[in-house]
Chain A
Amino acid sequence: MVTTAEKAKHSRGWGWLSGLLQIVCGVLIAVAPHTFARVCAVMEGEAAMACHYTAQASTGIGVAIAVLGLATIVSKSERMRIGLTTGIGVLAILEVTVPTFLIGVCASSQMHCRVAALPTLLVLAILSLLCAGGFGLTDWGRINRRTRIARQAALAQKTAQ
């Protein structure tokens, strides 16, 4: 027989919302530098600017976040979801560092990659990080609460005996 505690342990909880938000953030991170927050175009015969490589790296990171978001939706285990959101959090931090430190964008403050692509990628990555942190902590809190209740119940049973 499956107990209520077991059911709660394997319930999807807010995992669907967490996963859905991560899929949206991941897809937007992947497509933004190629569409609505476009980076500078590579001119024929000229070397590609840093923002071009930032766009490529962001596409990879965005896809990875979206895939982990999908896994969060289907995952029934809270511990598994904590692992997945931690992974998403790490990827989101990586996404913050790509256009700022690791690769960068064009230096001029008026270039479209700096005006539009950089803030868009940063904001999406921060939102992804906040979602991952928020939902990860929620799952962690649920586990802790259940553990505490189980411990109190066991103690009460022991005292009654």
Chain B
Amino acid sequence: MSRSPHITVGKLSVVNLRQKPVRTGALVAIIAMLTFALFGGSVLTKSLSNGLNGMEERLGSDLVVVPAGTETSTASMLVSGEPTSFYFDKNIEADILAVAGVEAVSSQIYISSLDAACCEDEVQIIGFDPESDFVVEPWIAQMNLDGIEDGQMIVGADIIISDNNTVLFFDHEYPVAGQLAKTGTSMDSTVFISQDSIPELVEYASAVGAEVMPAEYAGKAVSAVLVKASEGVSAEEIAYSITQAAIYGVSFVYPDGITQTTGTSLHIVVAFLVAIIVTLWVISLVVLGSVFSANMNERKKELATLRIMGVTKRRLISLVASESSLIGLIGGAAGIVLAALVVFPFSNLIGNSLSLPYLTPGFAWCAMVAVLALAVALLTAVGASAFGVKRIAKVETMLTLRDGE
């Protein structure tokens, strides 16, 4: 004896949705757009927030003293990693240390390289002083690295290291002491070297025809002096004291100011994303509500017939709820997949285009947000069908069938 096919609410919902492919497709597309914006926007916001936190941690000093007129290029190097080179006399470091309110100073030398076999694009080389440094050393300690010796380099996360654990600059192989973790900031494409190794690096550069710094400056010039303020002294007060101490030809970069400016840009992006998500959510609710409501009108007789065949009201309600849940789930999953195909592979491009520090969050956070976005999609679809469900629960079968006679 043959077994007759068993009809379930789930199967019936699938068949109903299949019968109206264009309407189903349109509803799925609306929910997909909502979850695309919700998931994509959340990942984007979190990535920018991670980048900002990374930048705050990495700037590390209260004030940066640079040669006059170079504050803009210093700021753009710190925020977007635009390589730069400029110098002033190394003696300024001692003059600044003598200024009231200054707790510590450490100089850095910035050299931009166009000749790196590991990376065909420009790389920022930063020469730091391991003895006085209070910015780079803490990251090195965090990474459990053994510090840096003369002639060695510590490289950012985006720098490609060769198989023999070296990087090639100006035709010279530098051993790599360690690689820093990804920060989402300009530091990822920066290499750090001890200041004592800079004269040698300048020689290597000039041997291959690259004039990174006049040879007579090597060992005598620095690009920036990082200043740590004493307790209770502000960066502005120190800048004023430096000016009063007749140290001329210098400009000031305020890391806090850079962080605040970046934070403001981040808030604008976040506000824009929130506006898009809320608008899409309202549109989704209105459109889905209208379509489900119109659909209930269309299907009045079909549902009444099912009632006469013995289907309970509860079953009818679960049929409509099941259809809207399927739309919510399929649309939600499609939106999340599409958003993932944009925000993860194109993360570098997005970060570069926004010119803001950008660090993609980890898998666990993304998975949690994906589940939340799917839940919002599901609730939106089911919530929008609530009006139709309410109507089924109210109207009597007999009246529905008589309607329009």
Interfacial residues, chain A to chain B (CB-CB below 8 A): 40, 49, 106-111, 114-116, 118-119, 122-123, 126-127, 130, 152, 155-156, 159
A152 touches B119 (CB 8 A): no
Residue of A nearest to B341 (CB): A123
Extra contacts, 15 of them, besides A115-B348, A119-B346 (Cβ < 8 A), are: A108-B119, A108-B121, A108-B160, A109-B188, A109-B189, A109-B348, A111-B120, A116-B346, A119-B345, A119-B349, A122-B345, A123-B346, A126-B341, A130-B337, A156-B2
Q: Which residues of B contact A (CB under 8 A)?
A: 2, 5, 118-121, 158, 160, 188-189, 337, 341-342, 345-346, 348-349, 352
B341→A110 contact, CB < 8 A: no
Name which of B118, B120, B160, B337 has the most chain A CB atoms within 10 A of its CB.
B120
Complex Cα spacing A114 to B160, Å: 13
> What are 8 A-B pairs at a CB distance below 8 A?
A40-B120, A107-B118, A107-B119, A108-B120, A110-B119, A110-B348, A119-B345, A130-B337
**B residues less than 8 Å from A156 (CB atoms):** 2
Docked-complex contact B341 and A108, CB < 8 angstroms: no
The distance from the CB of A105 to the nearest CB of chain B, in whole angstroms, is: 12
Cβ–Cβ < 8 Å partners of A115 in chain B: 348-349, 352
* B341 contacts across to A, CB distance below 8 A: 123, 126-127
Q: Which secondary structure dominates where chain B touches chain A? A: loop
Question: How distant is the Cα of A114 from the Cα of B349 in the complex, in angstroms?
Answer: 9
Q: Out of B2, B120, B346, name the residue touching A155 (CB < 8 Å).
A: B2
Does B120 lie within 8 Å of A106, measured CB to CB? yes
Set B5, B158, B337, B346: member contacting A110, Cβ < 8 A: B158
Cβ B160 vs Cβ A159 within 8 A: no
Closest to A108 in B: B119
Closest to A151 in B: B2
Count of CB-CB pairs between chains A and B under 8 Å: 48
Cβ–Cβ < 8 Å partners of B121 in chain A: 108, 110-111
Q: Which residues of A contact B120 (CB under 8 A)?
A: 40, 49, 106, 108, 111
Smallest CB gap from B188: residue in A:
A109
Closest to B348 in A: A115
Closest beta carbon of chain A to B162's beta carbon, Å: 10
- In contact, B345 and A123 (Cβ under 8 angstroms): yes
Which residues of A sit under 8 angstroms from B118, Cβ to Cβ? Answer: 107-108
A108 CA to B372 CA, complexed, in Å: 35
Nearest B-chain residue to A121, judged by Cβ: B345
Q: Residues of B contacting A108 with CB < 8 Å?
A: 118-121, 158, 160
| Distance in Å: Cβ of A119 to nearest Cβ of chain B | 3
Task: Please determine whether B2 and A159 come into contact, CB atoms closer than 8 angstroms.
Answer: yes
The 3 closest A-B pairs by CB, nearest first: A119-B345, A108-B119, A109-B158
Complex contact A107–B160 (CB within 8 A): yes
Cα A40 to Cα B342 with chains together (Å) = 22
Output the least CB separation between B114 and chain A (Å).
Answer: 13
Which residues of chain A have C-beta atoms less than 8 A from B348's C-beta? 109-110, 114-115
Q: In chain A, what residue has the closest Cβ to B116?
A: A108
Kindly state the separation between the CA atoms of A93 and B218 in the bound complex, as whole angstroms.
53
Query: A111-B120, A126-B341 are known contacts. Are A116 and B349 too (CB-CB below 8 A)?
Result: yes
In angstroms, Cα B347 to Cα A114, docked, is 11
Q: In this complex, what residue of A is CB-closest to B122?
A: A110
